[in-house]
Amino acid sequence: MSSIQSQVIERLKTQTIELPSWAFGNSGTRFKVFGSPGTPRDPFEKIADAGQVHAYTGIAPRVSLHIPWDLVEDYGKLAAHAADQGVSIGMINANLFQDDDYKFGSLTHPDPAVRAKAIAHHAQCVEVMHATGSKELKLWLPDGINYPGQDDLRDRQERLAESLQQIYALLDEDHRLVLEYKFFEPAFYATDIPDWGTSLLHCLALGERAKVVLDTGHHAPGTNIEFIVVQLLRAGRLGAFDFNSRFYADDDLMAGAADPFQLFRIMYEIVRADALKPAHGPGIAWDPAGTGVNFMLDQCHNVEEKIPGQIRSVTNVQAATAKALLVDREALSAAQRAGDVLGANDVFMDAYHTDVRPLLAELRESMGLAPDPMAAFKASGYLRQIATDRVGGTQAGWGA
Ligand code: PSV
Ligand code: MN
């Protein structure tokens, strides 16, 4: 093993990826949601499944909750259960997209009573943060309009700014607000936070504990996402990723499945900016105003097995990171300075074409893990066990 490879292994040991609780429930398209044997019936079972992903990959120690999908009576009990499973509660995601009152918007709604209701929902999320020790509140709005003239574009921005200020004021000093953007859907003509620029402007107006969330599926085809990563890192405002893959729109497929090269290019910019160090973790001082990024997955497993789907996504992000760390930065910058276009591209592509599987196996063995997490999980019998144990009740799904 070369000294570069050993350095890469040491860097990879510090990486963490946060899992979405909803990845473990059933999901689908507007055509059909398929059930599957062993699907969790409640947040406790979702967290148990997330614990398996961490147990086999060693780098997925947090689970993000979505409220009200993950409503429970006693969040102290849920946090203690998470600790028993070897994980902790990560971000709290607000839900502004499944209530009849939000037909014409939530934080941008023309009716102040509806806006007040949407703001109050965030107060409920902050209570969950207090009970679970979560430090990050994540917002994504479905708000927008379908027809020109349907509502006033500028007024909607003013209402949004005012609502966001009220939500920001609900947070403690050690809390962070992260604001996600999406270019379309469910609104089609104009979305109220369609892009990183709009999200960033609102975050800048709020204060230094407000950061942007970049969901890789929320861009038009062909968008250079790594360029956005560069800009947000320069501004110190990249709060989190929602990693997933897309072929067409917001497909929410496994990260790195559709375009592993794009994932590599994104992770290269992270490594280039020295932003791999996780925002949270043992020995890391949490700084809500700091530049730490939360690397999260936001995915749905509609036809594939869910726990293996999460394991595959985590290891895909890890493999892309390993390749990004292998880029010979000195050789790259020498070629760039010399104007050696193909030479620079070669250095970059060399790292991408490296087979990092042996290095990752070595990393896992050094962490006391099986070299092949997927094979080890499948051999464990957990899937058979949950299919036998979780009989009766209602399987959790998109919306519960
Ligand atoms: C919206 O499409 C989104 O990406 C947001 O992050 C939501 O909270 C999540 O999906 C829920 O599936
Ligand atoms: Mn998302």
Q: What pLDDT is stored for residue 25 in this prediction?
A: 97
Distance 102 CA to ligand 1 centre (A): 16
Distance 298 CA to ligand 1 centre (A): 7
93 within ligand 1 shell (Cβ under 6 A): yes
Whether 283 is in a domain gets the answer yes
Whether 391 is in a domain gets the answer no
Distance 328 CA to ligand 2 centre (A): 32
User: Among residues 207, 181, 185, 209, which one has the least CA distance to residue 196?
Assistant: 181
Dist CA 360 CA 341 (whole Å): 31
pTM for the model = 0.97
Residue 248 φ then ψ, to 5°: -125, -55
Beta bridge partners of 178: 138, 211
Q: Give residue 80's domain range.
A: 10-326
Q: What pLDDT is stored for residue 277 in this prediction?
A: 87
What proportions of the chain, in percent to the nearest 5, are helix, strand and coil?
A: 45, 15, 40
Neighbours of ion ligand 2 (CB under 5 A): 215, 242, 298
Q: What pLDDT is stored for residue 363 in this prediction?
A: 98
Task: Quick: pLDDT tens for 247-306.
Answer: 999 999 999 999 999 999 999 999 999 999 888 887 889 999 999 999 999 999 999 999
Dist CA 96 CA 189 (whole Å): 19
Whether 257 is in a domain gets the answer yes
Domain count, the chain: 1
- Whether the Cβ atoms of residue 182 and residue 140 lie closer than 8 Å to each other: yes
Q: What pLDDT is stored for residue 194 in this prediction?
A: 98
Whether 346 is in a domain gets the answer no
Distance 78 CA to ligand 1 centre (A): 22
Q: What pLDDT is stored for residue 301 in this prediction?
A: 97
Whether 176 is in a domain gets the answer yes
User: Among residues 163, 25, 178, which one has the least CA distance to residue 92?
Assistant: 178
Task: Quick: pLDDT tens for 18-77.
Answer: 999 999 999 999 899 999 999 999 999 999 999 999 999 999 999 999 999 999 999 999
- The dihedral region occupied by 198, where left means phi > 0, alpha psi between -120 and 50, and beta the remainder, is alpha
192 within ligand 1 shell (Cβ under 6 A): no
121 within ligand 1 shell (Cβ under 6 A): no
Whether 99 is in a domain gets the answer yes
Q: What is the pLDDT along the chain (400 residues), one digit of tens a residue?
A: 788 999 999 999 999 999 999 999 999 998 999 999 999 999 999 999 999 999 999 999 999 999 999 999 999 999 999 999 999 999 999 999 999 999 999 999 999 999 999 999 999 999 999 999 999 999 999 999 999 999 999 999 999 999 999 999 999 999 999 999 999 999 999 999 999 999 999 999 999 999 999 999 999 999 999 999 999 999 999 999 999 999 999 999 999 999 999 999 999 999 999 999 888 887 889 999 999 999 999 999 999 999 999 999 999 999 999 999 999 999 999 999 999 999 999 999 999 999 999 999 999 999 999 999 999 999 999 999 999 999 999 999 876 5
Q: What pLDDT is stored for residue 3 in this prediction?
A: 87
Q: What pLDDT is stored for residue 369 in this prediction?
A: 98
Q: What pLDDT is stored for residue 399 in this prediction?
A: 60
Q: What pLDDT is stored for residue 11 in this prediction?
A: 96
Whether 345 is in a domain gets the answer no
Instruction: Tell which one of 29, 102, 298, 299 to mutate to probe ligand 1, the residue whose CB is within 8 A of the most ligand atoms.
Output: 298
215 within ligand 1 shell (Cβ under 6 A): yes
Nearest CA to ligand 1 atom 6: 140
Q: Which long-range contacts (CB under 8 A, 24 or more apart) does 366-373 make?
A: 366/9, 366/13, 367/13, 367/58, 369/56, 369/57, 369/58, 370/56, 373/56, 373/57, 373/311, 373/315
Whether 78 is in a domain gets the answer yes
140 within ligand 1 shell (Cβ under 6 A): yes
Distance 250 CA to ligand 1 centre (A): 9
Q: What pLDDT is stored for residue 208 in this prediction?
A: 98
Nearest CA to ligand 1 atom 5: 140
- Ligand 1 atom at shortest distance from the alpha carbon of 398: 12
Nearest CA to ligand 1 atom 3: 140
Distance (Å) of CA 175 to CA 63, 92, 220: 17, 11, 31
151 within ligand 1 shell (Cβ under 6 A): no
- What is the CATH number for 237? 3.20.20.150
